[in-house]
Amino acid sequence: MFRDENDKVVTKARVPKAKTTADQRKRAPRLTSGSNSRAGTPSTNDSQEIMPLRLPSPSSTTLALEDEGIRFFFNHYSPLGTPQSAADQELRIRSSPMFPLITENESFHNAVSSVGSAGLYNVTKDPKHMIVARKKYAASLRDITRSLGDLAHSDLDATFKAVMLLTAFEIVNGSSQSIGIGTSWGVHIDGGAAILKMLTSAMPAFRSDSKGWIQFIFAVYIKSLSRGDDAAAEMRAWAEACKKDVKVPEVHAIDLTHIIYRFTNLHASLRQGLLLDSNIVVLEALVLDAELEDWETNLPEEWKFETVPAPDIMYFTYNGKTHNYHDFWVGRILNNYRWVRILVNELLMVHMVRLGTSGAEYKEQRRRSYGIIERMATDICTGISASFFRHSSLGPGQKDVPAMSGIFIILFPLAVAGSAMGVSQGIHEWVINTLRFIGNRMGICQAISIIELIRKQRKAFEEQTLSHVITNLWGAV
């Protein structure tokens, strides 16, 4: 399925064929894909005919460091430190867990460069950077297709990561052709799901370094929500099968994916007109909210966090505060809990109104739901700084710094928080201003694109003219 869609996406790249072919010929001896399933362990098997392999040469490292797109990527989308000099920048890039894969896997190298070059274009408006971005994007797609055609010699983990970077490219690009129903972003999410299935079939035991796989499940469900589709049952089954191989914190995250799976299917039934009885919707929403509350009550000890005053140098602070997490990944998972809790309570209140509910019980539920929504939205805004603040060093007890800052996966929670029913005008405006900064200063166009969608959703809540609960807060409509 993923290979079938690639031609459509490559066509959108609008890269002249002759130049791309020449570029591939010139680049092919330099960077290659590893055959070992563990990233960073290239093979030296001379018998391979497809994508010959060799150890990274000094020239490949130098070219990676000189790539303007890669430098922009690390300066804006990496969580560790703002470089103070060129030498400091090179040191930070080299020390990133992503760097070995950039020098060893051509598809991954091209994907990183395409994302950074697109962001650089959005900030500078220099057309040459978008030309480079499109070429690198198309080259990465072709490398991915070639890799999937030779699974015996492919590094599927690197291929999966390259596909995830191409989803980031679509978010940076942020056009109606990139994001939304039936567009390239959705194609890459579907492709990533297919590769993940192949990857776990080849390696049944869940790897300790694969927390990103769990985060990917939430992206799959966000895609289904944006389309009004049912959630993929295969994804839920895969997640459940993984529970036997993971520790308690990861099990807790998988339990959350199961709740979101059920909410996604409830939402799909409403969007598709299959469920019209508001009594059933209210009952389902109450059950989901009770399960979410129980999920939060039983957070593992490792998931506990503190709300503390933010350092003066920290961007994106709400009311001068931030969250202090022991594990950056936990903060990202908790944001998925927060946005779904908001949507569940919005759904509950809308359908209680449709039933004409009144009296003390309704007023109490309304008060409770508004309180939950405000708290969840506040936590999303407060926690953003911890999600992608550029740390020069780790705080006490902090560990597992991710390779990427989380800037791409925070946009949907922000959209939900900023448009949520009953949230203060202060939260709404703070979200709009933050998205404007992310779009204009960090080069992520999707942040700008969703501002109008947030305003539209908030206006619908204020005027009580909703024909549905969730405006498509992620894609162009």
Backbone angles phi, psi at 180, to 5 degrees: 125, -165
| 385 domain residue, yes or no | yes
Domain count, the chain: 2
Within this chain, do residues 267 and 413 fall inside the same structural domain, yes or no? yes
Answer yes or no: are the C-beta atoms of 235 and 220 closer than 8 Å. yes
| 215 domain residue, yes or no | no
Q: Containing domain of residue 302, as a range?
A: 261-477
Within this chain, do residues 292 and 419 fall inside the same structural domain, yes or no? yes
Within this chain, do residues 191 and 321 fall inside the same structural domain, yes or no? no
| 170 domain residue, yes or no | yes
| 255 domain residue, yes or no | no
Residue 430, helix vs strand vs coil: helix
Of the candidates 173, 189, 204, which is a domain's last residue?
204
* CA quadruple 89, 137, 385, 326: dihedral sign: negative
With CA atoms as reference, report the closest residue to 422 among 358, 359, 354, 368.
Answer: 368
Within this chain, do residues 198 and 330 fall inside the same structural domain, yes or no? no
Helix (H) or strand (E) holding 322: strand 321-324
Within this chain, do residues 120 and 200 fall inside the same structural domain, yes or no? yes
Backbone angles phi, psi at 23, to 5 degrees: -65, -40
* CA quadruple 407, 411, 413, 414: dihedral sign: positive
pLDDT tens sequence for the chain (477 residues)? 444 545 544 444 444 333 444 444 333 333 233 333 333 333 333 333 334 334 444 445 555 557 899 999 988 888 755 555 667 667 777 877 888 889 899 999 999 999 999 999 999 999 999 999 999 999 999 999 999 999 888 888 899 999 999 999 999 998 655 565 557 888 999 999 999 888 877 665 555 566 888 899 999 999 999 888 999 998 999 889 888 878 888 999 999 999 999 999 999 999 898 988 999 999 999 999 999 999 999 999 889 899 999 887 777 789 999 998 888 889 999 999 999 999 999 999 989 988 887 788 888 999 999 999 999 999 999 998 876 555 544 444 444 555 676 788 999 999 999 999 999 999 999 999 999 999 999 999 999 999 998 998 888 888 776 554 555 666 543
| 227 domain residue, yes or no | no
From CA 147, how far away is CA 375, in angstroms rounded? 46
Answer yes or no: are the C-beta atoms of 12 and 133 closer than 8 Å. no
**Would residue 150 be called left, alpha or beta, if left means φ above 0 and alpha means ψ between -120 and 50 degrees?**
beta
Answer yes or no: are the C-beta atoms of 100 and 155 closer than 8 Å. no
Query: Which pLDDT does position 61 carry in this prediction?
Result: 59
Of the candidates 204, 225, 240, which is a domain's last residue?
204
Within this chain, do residues 426 and 359 fall inside the same structural domain, yes or no? yes
| 161 domain residue, yes or no | yes
Within this chain, do residues 435 and 320 fall inside the same structural domain, yes or no? yes
Diameter over CA atoms, the chain: 77
Cα separations (Å) of 366 from 270, 338, 369, 420, 423? 21, 18, 5, 14, 13
Q: Output the six-digit token pair for 38.
A: 């563990």
With CA atoms as reference, report the closest residue to 196 among 226, 169, 156, 225.
Answer: 156
Helix (H) or strand (E) holding 324: strand 321-324
Query: Which pLDDT does position 176 carry in this prediction?
Result: 53
Query: Which pLDDT does position 12 carry in this prediction?
Result: 44
Within this chain, do residues 155 and 276 fall inside the same structural domain, yes or no? no
Hey, what's the torsion of the CAs at 418, 421, 425, 429, to 10 degrees? 10
Within this chain, do residues 345 and 455 fall inside the same structural domain, yes or no? yes
Within this chain, do residues 13 and 137 fall inside the same structural domain, yes or no? yes
Amino acid in position 75: N
| 190 domain residue, yes or no | yes
Within this chain, do residues 314 and 188 fall inside the same structural domain, yes or no? no
Q: At what angle do helices 58-66 and 86-95 cross, to 10 degrees?
A: 120
State if pTM tops 0.95.
no
Count, residues in the chain: 477
